[in-house]
Structure 1
Amino acid sequence: MFSPQGPSLRELATQALSSVERGYDLLAPKFDHTPFRTPDGILDATADALRPLGPFGPGLDVCCGTGAGARVLESLCQGRITGVDFSAGMLARARGAHPDAAWVRADVRALPFTEAFDLAVSFGALGHFLPAERPALFAGVYRALRPGGLFALPISSPQPVTSGLYWALLGFDLAMRARNAVWRPPFVMYYRTCGLRAVGDDLTASGFTVTMVPLTALGRRADGSPRCGLVLARKAPDAPMS
C-alpha cells in the first residue's frame, strides 16, 4: 500500500493486531514509505518556527521512530542529538540514517534523563498515549530539559464537522476502540484524544508555560485559521534543579 516500497494490506493488518511495540518493529523497514511518517513540510515548518528561538544546545526527539525529527534538531542544535523510542526496529532504522546521533530504547513515560537538553520535540506521537498517560510523559520531558528549555510539538487544528477528514478520523478512532475491546494486546492510536486545549492543560499542569504559534507555511482553512500550530512549552529559566 501507499507506494511500491510500502507495506501490503496484509502486513498492515498483522501490525494492527500486534502490540504497539511489536507493530512498529514489524513496520519499521517500510515505515518511511507510508503516510505515517511525518511529512517533510511539517518538519521544515517546525524548524523555521523554532530557528528564531535558538540556537540550542543538546536536543531530544521524543518518540523518534525512524529518526525523521533528527533533521529538525540537526538544523537547530549545536549539541548532540538524542532520540528515544521503545521500538528496537524503529531505532535501528534511525541509527542507520543518523549514525552520529544517540538512539536510546526506553519507555517515554519514564524518560531516563535529567536536565540534559535545551530543546525537545515530538512529532505525531501523542495519539499513542491515553489522556491519563500524558502527565507522566510531560513530566518526564520537563525533567529532561534544562531550566529555560523548550518542548515543541506541532498539533493540527480541529477539523470542522463538515470535513470529510473529521469523519474519517472519527471512524478510525471508533474502529480502534472496537478492536481494543475485543483483542489483546491493545494497539493504542487515537487521533481525537490529543486536542490542543487538553494537551495545553496537561503541559501547564506539568510546570510548563505554554504558548502556540501558527505554522502558516502549512496553509490556512477557508475561515483563515491555520491548519496546524506549534505548541511551545517552556520550562522556567529559574526552575529549581532536579
Structure 2
Amino acid sequence: MFSPRGPSLGELCVQALSSVEHGYDLLAPKFDYTPFRTPSSILGATTEVLSTFGPFGRGLDVCCGTGAGTLVLRPLCTRGFTGVDFSAGMLGQARVAHPDGTWVRADARAMPFAAGFDLAVTFGALGHFLPAERPALFAGVHRALRPGGLFAFPVGTLPPATSVAHWVTLGFDVAMRVRNAVWKPPFVMYYRTGAVPAVSADLAAAGFTVEAVALTGLGEHSDGSPRCRLVLARKHA
C-alpha cells in the first residue's frame, strides 16, 4: 500500500498521535507516496462529470493538501485556481508541485473568500469534520462561490454489512473514537460520518441545490450500489 518513499510505521504513529494540523505537517513531505492521496481514478472520474458543466472561470480546492485537486481544476478552469488548507506543510508541497496555483493558508471553517469562484471541489476531506462542523464549512464554500457556482466532491458510499469493507471502516471509526477519548489533541478522521443523505441535508440548509450522481466507472459494491457518488451542490443564481 505504501511506496518505499512513503512514511515508516513509526512516522505514521507519531502523526496519528498529533493534532490534525500538526499530523499533516509531519506527513506532508511523504504524503503523495501514501494511499491517503486521492487516487487518479477518482480525480479522473470527477473531471469527466464536471466537464459536462464547464468550462468554469476560477476554481477553488478546499482542504487542498498537496494539490491533487489541481488535476481536476487546471483543465476545467480558464482563469486559474486557488487551494486552501490549514497545514503549512501540505501547502508548501503544493506550491512546489504546482507553481501556477494560488495557495492560501486558512481554516476551511472560516475561509477568507467572498463570491470569487465558479467551481469549488474537495477530495477526501469531509472525514476531518465532525457533523456539527459541516454547516460552517458549507457556509464558507457558499460564500466563496459566485451566484450559480458549483461545489462538487466525491463521497464513497457505505459498503453493505455483508462485506469486509463494512467492518474495516466501522473498526477504523471505532478505533479513532477510542483514540480521541483517551488522547489529546484529537485527530478527527472518520469514514462513516459523511453519508450522502446527511451531507446533502447540510448543503441544502446552507443554500445549495443538491444532486448526487453515481461514478459508475469506479465500480459497485456486492449489492449493486455504486462505490462512489459525486455530490453536485449549486449555489442559487
Separation in structure 1 between the aligned mates of residue 222 and residue 134 of structure 2, nearest angstrom: 32
Post-superposition offset of 1:157: 1.4
Q: Deviations over 1:152-203 (max 9, x none)?
A: 0100111101111111111111111111111111101111111111100000
Partner of 2:130: 130
SS at match of 1:229: strand
Separation in structure 2 between the aligned mates of residue 54 and residue 45 of structure 1, nearest angstrom: 15
Partner of 1:39: 39
- Trace 1:94-173 onto structure 2 (pairs within 5 A): 94-173=94-173
Separation in structure 1 between the aligned mates of residue 214 and residue 94 of structure 2, nearest angstrom: 29
Asked whether the 8 Å contact 2:159–2:221 carries over to 1, the reply is no
Separation in structure 2 between the aligned mates of residue 19 and residue 9 of structure 1, nearest angstrom: 18
Unmatched segments (≥5 aa) in structure 2: none
Partner of 1:204: 204
SS at match of 1:52: coil
- Trace 1:1-242 onto structure 2 (pairs within 5 A): 2-237=2-237
Post-superposition offset of 1:2: 1.2
Separation in structure 2 between the aligned mates of residue 223 and residue 54 of structure 1, nearest angstrom: 33
Asked whether the 8 Å contact 2:87–2:105 carries over to 1, the reply is yes
TM-score (norm 1): 0.96
Separation in structure 1 between the aligned mates of residue 89 and residue 17 of structure 2, nearest angstrom: 17
Q: Give the total of aligned pairs.
A: 237
The one-letter amino acid of 1:154's match is P
Post-superposition offset of 1:227: 1.3
Separation in structure 2 between the aligned mates of residue 178 and residue 115 of structure 1, nearest angstrom: 40
Post-superposition offset of 1:224: 3.1
Unmatched segments (≥5 aa) in structure 1: 238-242
TM-score (norm 2): 0.98
Separation in structure 1 between the aligned mates of residue 84 and residue 9 of structure 2, nearest angstrom: 28
The RMSD of aligned alpha carbons is 0.9
106-115 or 221-230: bigger deviation: 221-230
Separation in structure 1 between the aligned mates of residue 221 and residue 133 of structure 2, nearest angstrom: 31
CA distance 1:177–1:84, change in 2 (3 Å)? same
Moved over 6 A (4+): none
Post-superposition offset of 1:219: 1.4
Separation in structure 1 between the aligned mates of residue 65 and residue 222 of structure 2, nearest angstrom: 33
Separation in structure 2 between the aligned mates of residue 11 and residue 89 of structure 1, nearest angstrom: 15
Post-superposition offset of 1:222: 3.6
Separation in structure 2 between the aligned mates of residue 224 and residue 184 of structure 1, nearest angstrom: 40
